[in-house]
A = this chain, B = another copy of it.
Amino acid sequence: MTTYNCAERDELRRLTASELAAHQLAKFNALVEEILPHNAFYADKLGSLQRPLKSLDELAVLPFTFKDELVGKVEGGDLAANRTYPLERYVRFHRTSGTRGRPMVVLDTASDWQWWLDGWQFVLDAAEIGPEDRCFLAFSFGPFVGFWSAFDAVAARGCLAIPSGGLSTAARLELIRQNGATALFCTPTYALHLAEVANQQKLDIADSNVHRIILAGEPGGSIPNVRQKIESAWNAKVIDHTGATEIGPWGFSDDKQRGVYVNEAFFLPEFISVETGKPAGEQELSELVITTLGRSGAPVIRYRTGDLVRPSWNHNGPCNFVLLEGGVLGRADDMLIIRGVNVFPSSVEQIVRGFPEVVEFRMTAFKQGQMDQLSVEVEDRLDRPERVAKELQIRLGLRIEVTSVEIGSLPRFEGKGRRFVDQRNAS
């Protein structure tokens, strides 16, 4: 079951700016009213809050929440720092992937889990998934929230949910074919890996019934060359989704594949300019700050995501939510400054993925004296790394060392790919 039906979600997507602000203000006030008496973490942080807020402008004086605070507060035996209710109320356990730093446990109550599933419906709307769809989840169903929420959201929508934990890539390809799966849910990295294995086994996946691929967990779905590579291998449309364990399912592809919308009916986004530290304007490079407008068991308020984006309010589309062109451009931590030029790993990926003969790649950042440097390894069927280096120089204005390595020698990933190795702080 879903809380909002299709028409109601459409209404939310079409709210005007002032209607949306009123909706968000009401949701925010209800949330803090519910949590402040119980949630020690936010009672501490927001103790002085005059509630209810009369305008969203008043948010600006509230403190930010940083990931370190959420991870750091757990003491022996306790499960999650940011917890509103006694443990008995919680039904779902998830843990961040720990790609960066210590894994963080986040728990959800039954109604917060329903909120996750409701949030996912916006992604499934964007993917035009209906009850006739057979949704194949190529995912291992470990503690990482990843596609757990998608799985339950698909079933809540009345679609057939096909789980594939614990299977090899070849067995998954067979299950997709055998059961005529129509929609595939996975990471961008794994969509490419499935295509690579299919190619080795001479399976024609472009001829399968899969007509939609819903990507999450990594930025790939909004990197045009990655998206096109996946779309052409599978002969299917890619829909990007953005979310995080400690936040929720906050974004989904726009209809023209320009980037992702922030689901402003469920989340309140703010944008902090990287340059000025002040609220960002149209298209300005900024860090995304998110407040959940629900999930009372584990809410985040003014959470610094570390995601760099360019917000666009003046876009043209059937949905009035703010659009992030190109999706998440990179992580604040990953931004390199090479000889004065800002470079994101995603920009490098976009360029490298423009070469269809490049099977896999890896980039390594390191320090040369005080300066950031980057090198790139490619598995290149043509074994001509210099043409990749030349394209990087043309597009980024930077000379970057590119070396060719043996096909199959770089790591493959089922979940999040780790193609960016940051050794800038290595001793």
Contacts and interface: CB of A to CB of B under 8 A. Distances in A.
Which of A105, A155, A414 gathers most chain B CB within 10 Å?
Answer: A155
Contacts of A154: 91
A132 B93 contact: no
B155 A88 contact: no
Contacts of A269: none
A142 B167 contact: yes
A90 to B, nearest CB: 5
Given A91-B155, A93-B134, A155-B110, A180 B142 contact: no
Nearest to A132: B88
A165 interface: yes
Nearest to A1: B110
A312 to B, nearest CB: 37
Contacts of A93: 134, 160-163, 179
A164 B179 contact: no
A405 to B, nearest CB: 27
Interface in A147-180: 148, 154-155, 158-167, 175, 179-180
A87 interface: yes
Interface in A112-163: 113, 131-132, 134, 140-143, 148, 154-155, 158-163
B131 A88 contact: yes
Contacts of A141: 140-141, 163, 165-166
B166 A165 contact: yes
B162 A87 contact: no
Contacts of A158: 88-89, 91, 110
A131 B90 CA distance: 8
B162 A165 contact: no
Q: Range of interface residues on chain A?
A: 35 or more
A264 B79 CA distance: 39
A358 B81 CA distance: 45
A295 B259 CA distance: 43
A92 interface: yes
A255 to B, nearest CB: 25
Contacts of A89: 131, 158
B165 A142 contact: yes
Given A162-B93, A163-B148, A175 B143 contact: yes
Contacts of A369: none
A101 interface: no
Contact of A166 (B88, B132, B134, B166): B166
A37 interface: no
A107 interface: yes
A161 B79 contact: no
Interface string A238-266: 00000000000000000000000000000
A107 B160 contact: yes
Nearest to A209: B77
Given A92-B155, A93-B134, A163 B175 contact: no
Nearest to A154: B91
Give the top 7 A-B pairs by smallest Cβ distance, nearest first: A140-B166, A141-B165, A141-B141, A142-B166, A165-B165, A91-B155, A93-B162
Interface of A: 1, 77, 79, 87-93, 105, 107, 110, 113, 131-132, 134, 140-143, 148, 154-155, 158-167, 175, 179-180, 414
Given A77-B180, A92-B155, A143-B163, 17 more contacts: A88-B131, A89-B131, A90-B160, A91-B154, A91-B158, A93-B162, A93-B179, A105-B179, A110-B158, A140-B140, A142-B164, A142-B165, A142-B167, A143-B164, A143-B167, A143-B175, A166-B414
